[in-house]
Structure 1
Amino acid sequence: MTAVVSAFRRGEWRTSLDTVALPGPWESGHGLALVPEIVAHADRRWWDDTGRHSPFAATTLAPGSRRELLLFALDLFEHGTVTVGGLGPQGAGDFHMALWQTAGVPRPLARRWTGMLREGLSRRKAPRPDDALALVSLPGNTFTCLDSVLDQAERSAGVWVRPSRREPLSAARLVASMLTAGWPPDRIGLYPTEQRTLHGLVRLTDRQVVYGGAGLAASALDSETLTLHGPGRGCAVVPAGMPAKEAADWLLPLIAADSGRFCSNVHTVACADAPDGSRQDPEPLATALAAALDALHPQPGFHQELVAFREFGAVDMIQGAVRDRLRPGDRILTRRPAVVLGPASEVYARPQLALLDGHFGDGTAATHPLVGHEVPFPFAAVLSASPEAVRAITAASLFVHRPAK
């Protein structure tokens, strides 16, 4: 590793004896310094004794000033050159290239997601600050979740940011941008850790926002002050009588936008029975939607909005998890190869669509292993569903999409 992203603790960028290599080809040369739990315990004591009492912070973070500083930080994040510990001065182009090399996020998506951060901050009502030390533990699928860092920075006395080990560069750049904008260094931290240390960070902080998958949601994270953003299980309900082409056009962006990386992306499409009880044949819609998905990203590359997989074997494991969940009679209708190499030997997962066999009645849809199954690429399972099955699917989903009437 030639460039190791530092932690930011007690107002300074700091190295560590514990490091981990970031995903990506060996020539990317990026690593990440990890903060042991015992160090985090010492930092909490420092926070109670010193950090929260900074007179500079009290002046700088006066009422009304936080939003202005954060908007300036987002300007720097998007366009500026900031100093990231371990990496040195980093321009916007440097950030985009490093993000591409390590996490496979192409420049168009990075720019779009930065715009979403700005939009989210600008439209949100500024909260009333309190005296809490907050923790934000981030996912690796998209850096739009940095919105929670911005939110907690506005409402908390201090924020510890735990970046994903798969994609820590965006969090490090945001912290560096906040510091360059004038954010008090005692009031922000970057705490990369092992997964097992997350529970310790939850206990050490006063308020927590944690992003994670099904395994984390089912774990023993038990805190009244914790907000857990688990699987979204995004779904769409197609009413009977909606033309297949019209439904496919409506569903395509819901499934494929942002490379299928958002928890709000649709992964289950329920074709609802008609009000008279007659069943809707899902195959015409599934066929039209599969053709539309096949037409996306014919030749994946850096210029397109499709995330490349950098972790060895990740695509095969994810694709295998889809295949293993197919039941007898289920069919994959997309025809293009599921895995493809890009022009620089990067690996992509192309969009896929599965048509589930049979009609799903009371409670049976929720038991199919592909219903609600989330993967980090555009994928959806289409099925025929009774009103009871539709209710079961939507009840388990945080993001339910229905066509406008």
Structure 2
Amino acid sequence: MPPVRTTDPVYLDALGPRGAYRTRVSSTVTDVTGAETARLSLVPPVFVSRATAALRQAPPIPAADLEGLFAAAGEAFAAGTVGGLSVREYERLVSRTSGTPLAVVRAATRGTAHFVRQAPSSADRGRPRGAAGGLSDPAVHETHTVWARRGDVFAVNASGNHPGVHRVWLEALALGYRVAVRPSRREPFTPYRLVAALRRAGVRDDQLMLLPTDHRTADTVVRGADRAVVYGGDDVVAMYAHDARVLPQGPGRSKILITADTDWRDHVDTIVASVAGEGGTACVNATAILVEGDPAPLAEAIAARLSVWPSLPPQDERALLPVLPQERAHALSAYLKTVSAGTHAWLGGEGIADDLGDGSAVLRPAVHQTESAHAVQLRTELPFPCVWVAPWSRSDGVAPLRDTLVLSALTRDRDLLEALLAEPTIANLYVGDQPTYAMAPGVPHDSYLSDFLMRSKAVFGRPS
């Protein structure tokens, strides 16, 4: 059954093996002003266990159905009324609730729909050249190798910082996994809409589920699966670091490197967009910029650009910056003051919380200059446009650039690029005038998800 709406709030049911399920226990979802926007049904551990058993018994989506099914789901997600919400109603709820600027949410809707449509082909991009897609693939007779799943059930413990986080698990569904999504209570509307759109397009209820839970039960969702992806901070990464079945997705700590052979003035638009595009909330936004030479002119230029961005409610068409409840915003502001001690503040030194007068506050941009490429601040990633600008020299080497999801390198030095490409802890290397948030279907985000989900099996002989 679709969410039941009065004037307010929206009722979001769990989407279990027998359809929608409304529980007695629900979680109140509020917007950034504290107003109630939704009531989210929370399922208990026994429901999770039964749902996982149903996923395990269900068959994969037939390969012949994938293209048409995902195309229909993408169209429904982008433009349809799903779960009782039009796309415009959905986008405004996401913006109000998460504090993400409405323009960013709308762009994410278009982008996610594109990823939905491309999910089958994107998933196949990670298949090794020498592996056939299955026993029915004629190539198996030449390669004697088949690409096979490592399990049957995939779980997602999602974050709510950006609607785009839900693009990743689509590939698991396309690869034949049955999927359980545990939505963030901060922003449950995107996963609800995505799961509902896929079900409407033909995915069976026992192949894809939305299982909202409290924090304690969330681990039941993860532990019951064969493979899982979990979003969170460094504490979450540490918790699952030794579990080979779990892929932790922690802070991105994305960076930009600018060497002396490149004039940063030619790339200011890309640099500012990398820091503050998408509202500065994504793991692919630049956290640090390292400059060969004096970093001050660049830091000053970034601060000048960002200082004029307006403070507006997130659902305003002109909004560019994220918004949080006032108390949380001021807590972040106080934390920034603590961690930035010893740096030079070009922007945000007096605080970054700008109260809107309705119980919410805009997170204003912050630009700080550090004395060294090895400053501890370069590892501090915050959920708004906050960047650390540091000097870098050849003697610093690759070390300050490690542990990076995306590194955009503005350099003509081929040997340096080769060294950056060879560094195992740099997940993605963008060369030249490329924003750190650039993404496309079929292009790895943190390696191919299929590297984690699939394996190659030797197969000799022909099926009778």
Same fold by TM (over 0.5)?
yes
> Counterpart in 2 of 1:189?
209
Q: How does 1:149-160 map to 2 (within 5 A)?
A: 149-160=169-180
Q: How does 1:328-339 map to 2 (within 5 A)?
A: 328=342, 330-334=343-347, 338-339=352-353
Asked whether 1:111 is paired with 2:106, we answer yes
> Counterpart in 2 of 1:264?
284
Asked whether 1:77 is paired with 2:77, we answer yes
Q: How does 1:336-351 map to 2 (within 5 A)?
A: 338-342=352-356, 346-351=360-365
> Counterpart in 2 of 1:141?
161
Instruction: Tell me the distance in 1 between the aligned counterparts of 2:88 and 2:265.
Output: 40
Q: What amino acid sits opposite 2:229 in the alignment?
A: V
Q: 1:221–1:394: structure 2 CA closer, same or farther, 3 Å change rule?
A: closer
Asked whether 1:90 is paired with 2:104, we answer no
RMSD: 2.5
Q: How does 1:5-404 map to 2 (within 5 A)?
A: 5-24=12-31, 25-48=33-56, 51-52=57-58, 61-83=61-83, 89-121=84-116, 122=118, 124-127=121-124, 130=149, 132-220=152-240, 222-240=242-260, 242-272=262-292, 280-297=293-310, 302-328=316-342, 330-334=343-347, 338-342=352-356, 346-356=360-370, 358-360=371-373, 365=374, 368-403=375-410
SS in 1 for 2:277: helix
SS in 1 for 2:381: coil
Instruction: Tell me the distance in 1 between the aligned counterparts of 2:390 and 2:200.
Output: 51
User: Does the 8 Å contact 2:157/2:229 carry over to 1?
Assistant: yes
Q: 1:307–1:252: structure 2 CA closer, same or farther, 3 Å change rule?
A: closer
Q: CA deviation at 1:206?
A: 1.2
Q: CA deviation at 1:344?
A: 6.1
User: Does the 8 Å contact 2:41/2:212 carry over to 1?
Assistant: yes
TM-score, structure 2 as length reference? 0.75
Q: How many residues align?
A: 377
SS in 2 for 1:146: helix
Deviations 1:298-317 (A, max 9, x none): 65651135354344522112
Unaligned regions of 5+ residues in structure 2, if any? 1-7, 125-132, 134-147, 413-464
User: Does the 8 Å contact 2:157/2:222 carry over to 1?
Assistant: no
Deviations 1:288-346 (A, max 9, x none): 11101113336565113535434452211222221101233x22112697222448664
Larger CA deviation: 128-137 vs 371-380? 128-137
Unaligned regions of 5+ residues in structure 1, if any? 84-88, 273-279
Deviations 1:150-184 (A, max 9, x none): 11111134110111111111000111111222221
Instruction: Tell me the distance in 1 between the aligned counterparts of 2:67 and 2:400.
Output: 39
User: Does the 8 Å contact 2:311/2:364 carry over to 1?
Assistant: no
Q: CA deviation at 1:247?
A: 4.8
Q: 1:307–1:287: structure 2 CA closer, same or farther, 3 Å change rule?
A: closer
Q: 1:103–1:299: structure 2 CA closer, same or farther, 3 Å change rule?
A: closer
Deviations 1:192-236 (A, max 9, x none): 122233332222011112222222112146432222221111111
Q: 1:27–1:289: structure 2 CA closer, same or farther, 3 Å change rule?
A: closer
Q: 1:67–1:11: structure 2 CA closer, same or farther, 3 Å change rule?
A: farther
TM-score, structure 1 as length reference? 0.85
Q: Extract structure 1 runs of 4+ deviating beyond 6 A.
A: none
